[in-house]
Amino acid sequence: MATALPAEQTTTQFLWLDLTRTCQLSCTHCYNESGPKGTHGAMSREDWTDVLDQAAACGISDVQFIGGEPTMHPHFAELVDRALATGLGVEVYSNLVHISPQCWTLFQRKGVSLATSYYSNKASEHDEVTRRPSHARTRANIVKALELGIPIRVGIVGDNEQRIEAAKADLESIGVSRVGTDHIREFGRASDNQQPKASGLCGGCGDGRAVIDPDGNVAPCVFSTWMSVGNVHDASLASILSGPALSKAVDSLRADWGKKDKDNDQGQNQPCTPDCVPKNPCDPRCSPNDSCRPGTPGTECRPKN
């Protein structure tokens, strides 16, 4: 791990911290194929702590702890505490299947917010996606978060618009005001063992954001982890985020999206605005930062499918 703090600032403002590929669930569309047999990777507690210190020092303002299920990482609470101590805003993307009393206390701290995924108002349909009877627990913990005053947003992921609308109505009925939707992207388990394609991305990868995976690899976003642009064990975070590899990867993705725009006969010479709702790959209401996370609302940007 490169421990020297960077002297320069970067244009990156947001980092996904992909702590672990361990998860209680094995969702059918999981973009990184997390599950009960997943591991915490090669990043130690000290490595993640160093990353948080470097992130704050080089101008990053917000991080999202994601996975897998980030609360299953053995040093999760300690790392959230460190992030807050350095002045970083924190969002935790959890499946909300099991939340310990310690985590509920942590989530109520100033500067922390929650996010989760929801697949249907019907337990059988939701559980079909997660491959475990998880609907009741997730829904009950959404309600508990609201009762405790914890900021929470919920992402609905799927390609059945009727099911999406029913799930959204259910969430709104219990008081969730921040509800976003995303279509299923063909990565991980949803890829049917096909090679990842840039055409499945939102178009904003690497634009002010990046991800660090459980082994320390840095990539433009959680969906484009096959495009590693460096590893924090080998170089400082700032040098990777400001380096030519990330710029090259972003240019490549933008070129692919420009081709997609042309192939779709959009009739425009400019790159298509990233998609933020299902079956709407060029909604002019979305800003370039509005669709980088699975199930994102159209107001800000962070995942998990």
Specify the pLDDT at position 206: 72
> What confidence score (pLDDT) does residue 225 get?
83
Can you give the pLDDT at residue 284?
32
Model confidence pLDDT, tens digit, residues 103-121? 999 999 999 999 999 999 9
Dihedral sign, Cα of residue 121, residue 94, residue 295, residue 38 = negative
Q: For residue 290, what pLDDT is reported?
A: 38
Mean pLDDT for all residues in the chain: 82
Among the listed residues 59, 178, 184, the one whose alpha carbon sits nearest the alpha carbon of residue 119: 184
Predicted TM-score of the model (pTM): 0.83
At residue 29, the pLDDT reads 87
Calculate the CA 123 to chain-centre distance: 24
Residue 217 structure tokens: 């690899």
- Can you give the pLDDT at residue 258? 58
Residue 59: how many other CB atoms lie within 10 Å: 15
Structure tokens at 266: 């959009």
State pLDDT tens for residues 18-70: 999 999 999 988 888 999 999 999 999 999 999 999 999 999 999 999 999 99
Q: Is 217 in contact with 225 (CB distance < 8 Å)? A: yes
Segments of the chain scoring below 50 in pLDDT: 2-7, 261-305
Paired strand residues for 35: 22
CB 64 within 8 A of CB 303: yes
List helix spans (H) across 196-273.
Answer: 237-241, 244-263
pLDDT of residue 282: 31
Give the separation between CA 210 and CA 204, rounded to whole angstroms.
11
CA dist., res. 3 & res. 235, Å (int): 9
